Structure 1
Amino acid sequence: MAFEHHRVVITAAGRDFGRTLALRFAAQGAEVHLSARTPEAAARVREEILAQGHDADRVHAYACDLTDPASVRGFAAAVAARAGHVDVLVNNGSRYQHGTDLLSASDEDVVETLASGATGTVLATKAFLPLLLKSGMPDIVTMVSGCGEPGNQRSDAHDSFYAAKSAQAGFTATLSRRLRDQGVRVISLYPPDFDNHDPLSQAWEGAPRTAKDPLTAQSLVDCVFFAVGQPRDCFIKAFHFEQV
């Protein structure tokens, strides 16, 4: 499915999987509104997309600190000034905190991990919901994590990251039920750690994938595109993945 008629907002698109999603949505023709914590990081990805020949009027970059409510509101207001509606919101932003020892992270690390992943997801969704409700095909996609699944203890992530992802999982599950009558699909992905090689790079093209290989960014992008591309009576609530 092509996405020429979609306006897509992606948080934390300055690097890693957020950047990959921005590149792929733009490659499929979508109008992309991408954010990063610094304007420089967002601008770099925008320039990367423009270098591939995309229309400058369909690629927009913003600074947004998901731990700052005023910054989130400002991001949404800036998008609203350019676009009358938003079709897809991708909640990708969430700080990762490593460490199996609760005492290994500072209080500041704990607060920022929870604020970016949990509070930031709620604030971004709240800020963009009015624009989503103006769309005829609104979707909210949240990159949760296997750490948000009950009983998952396979990651070396810090307890605060588990807490943030569990909060995201609870929020999106409730939101899916409450927004369905308004036609908004809420889609959550629960991947384990995955290979984040750039799926647009020449080295990636044609690379074989087997059951023994780790999950790839390409596979996750395919899941997002599949869910968003379904007819509007098809509500795919979540993608869960077996770990190698």
Structure 2
Amino acid sequence: MTYQSVYRPGLFDGQVVLITGAGSGLGRCTAHELASLGATVAIAGRGLDKLEAVKAEIVAAGVAADKVSTHTCDIRKEDEVIALVDAVLAQHGRINGLVNNAGGQYRQPLNEISSKGFEAVVRLNLFGGFMVMREVYNRWMEKNGGAIVNMIADIWGGWSHYGHSGAARGGMWTLSETAASEWAHSGVRVNCVAPGGIASSGFDTYEPHVQEDILKYPPTVPARRYGNVSEISAAITYLLSPAAAYITGSCIRVDGGAPNVRCWNPPKPLTEGLAFDASKEFSAFPLDAPPRLLTEGVTKKASR
């Protein structure tokens, strides 16, 4: 089944886009959309089996096998990041776009986060992303231009129980603003996408008590629902596209209006209209399936 993108076929013909964290969730969906629009996608992640499964899906949808390459990389390790960029350039000769998507976190009150845990999350979500940006810029984009999209999160006003990830994502936001300024002379645009509560496979990786909180999310946001991976991919694709040629140092929030509710002092629950269904989702990825959490409920074996 082909991806039902709103963008025109062939939009990314001749372009090579590197996507980290592409073995599942948002990265998987973005790889499908960009490949359906003509891009050659270099999909990276820590698990080769997952990457090969995504490649097989894309090829089954009608994309030539040589337009999808798989690359194992732990972006927390500098030598692996350098090897990743070298491998993509050796195989494809260019990197026109980068989707810095790899990341993750776990739930923990700020005062209970260990130094080791804080450092590990920041290294993954900030330092790793920085290294990928730097190597792609230095090895290709500085002389050839390009577009970078960094994934952050709904961090506006702080992120309770995820202080380590909030700090890292906030750092990635300001890092992106800096890179947008410093690299503009090379024709490189750097932007962010900030997802809110997105129904993806990531829901199923959290512990049961966290999943219980996730299930309470829709009534707390103006849109009264979760977003989906297609809605994130569409924002990423736009920022990579020629239509965003004058956009750099910016962030697209895809969060159903969640931060806007926080301006109420004290915060007010959205108790009215719990059967609210006016916010219709955009769904373009035929292989996307809801996380088990939303179909089976909290799972006892869920772990971080």
Q: Which range, TM-score by smaller chain? A: 0.7 to 0.9
Query: Structure 1: how far apart are the matches of 2:229 and 2:54?
Result: 17
For residue 269 of structure 2, what is the aligned residue in structure 1?
Answer: none
Could you tell me the TM-score, scaled by structure 1's length? 0.84
Q: Which amino acid aligns with 2:14?
A: H
Kept after mapping to 2: 8 A contact 1:84/1:131: no
Where 2:26 maps in the other structure, the secondary structure is: helix
What is the Cα-based RMSD across aligned positions, in Å?
A: 2.1
What is the DSSP-based 3-state SS (H/G/I as helix, E as strand, rest coil) of the residue aligned with 2:98?
A: strand
Report if the CA contact (8 A) 2:238-2:244 is conserved.
Answer: no
Structure-1 residue corresponding to 2:302: none
Q: Distance in 2 between matches of 1:95 and 1:21?
A: 17
Pick from 218, 221, 238 the counterpart of residue 251 of structure 2: 238
Cα shift at 1:30: 0.9
* Whole-angstrom distance in 2 between the partners of 1:232 and 1:223: 11
**1:203 corresponding residue in structure 2:** none
Matched-pair contact (CA < 8 Å) for 2:125–2:168: yes
Is the radius of gyration larger for structure 1 or structure 2? 2
Following the alignment from structure 1 to structure 2, what is the Cα–Cα distance between the partners of residues 24 and 160? Answer: 31
What residue number does 2:54 align with? 45
1:7-61 C-alpha deviation (Å, 9 max, x unpaired):
1100011111111111111122210000011222222211221222211111000
Residues in 2 aligned to 1:233 and 1:47: alpha-carbon distance in whole angstroms:
32
Matched, 1:117 2:129: no
Offset at residue 230 of structure 1 (A): 3.2
Moved over 4 A (4+): none
**Sequence identity percentage:** 22
Separation in structure 2 between the aligned mates of residue 99 and residue 12 of structure 1, nearest angstrom: 23
- Structure-to-structure mapping, 1:25-40, within 5 angstroms: 25-40=34-49
Q: 1:175 to 1:229 in 2, by over 3 A?
A: same
Alpha-carbon displacement from aligned partner over 1:162-188 (angstroms, at most 9, x marks no partner): 111111112111101111121101011
Match of 1:228 in 2: 240
Report the alpha carbon displacement of residue 156 of structure 1 after superposing the two structures with TM: 4.6
Gaps of 5+ in 1: 198-209
Q: CA deviation at 1:232?
A: 6.6
Equivalent residue, structure 1, for 2:147: 139
User: 1:79-158 alignment to 2 at 5 Å?
Assistant: 79-103=88-112, 105-129=113-137, 130-135=139-144, 138-147=146-155, 149=156, 152-153=157-158, 155-158=159-162
Structure 2: which amino acid aligns with 1:238? C
Counterpart pick for 2:69 among 54, 60, 71: 60
3-state DSSP of counterpart to 2:242: coil
How far apart are residue 107 of structure 1 and its match?
4.1
Q: TM-score, structure 2 length as denominator?
A: 0.69
State the SS of the aligned residue for 1:146: coil
Find the residue that maps to 2:42 and give its secondary structure: strand
Report the CA distance between 1:221 and its aligned residue.
1.5
Deviation sequence 1:93-126 (CA, Å, 0-9, x none): 11222223431x4444322211111110110011
CA separation of 1:183 and 1:59: change in aligned 2, threshold 3 A: same
Answer whether contact 1:32 1:58 (CA < 8 A) is retained: yes
Distance 1:56 1:134 in 2: 29
What one-letter code is carried by the residue in structure 1 that aligns with 2:225? D
Other structure's SS at 2:89 match = helix
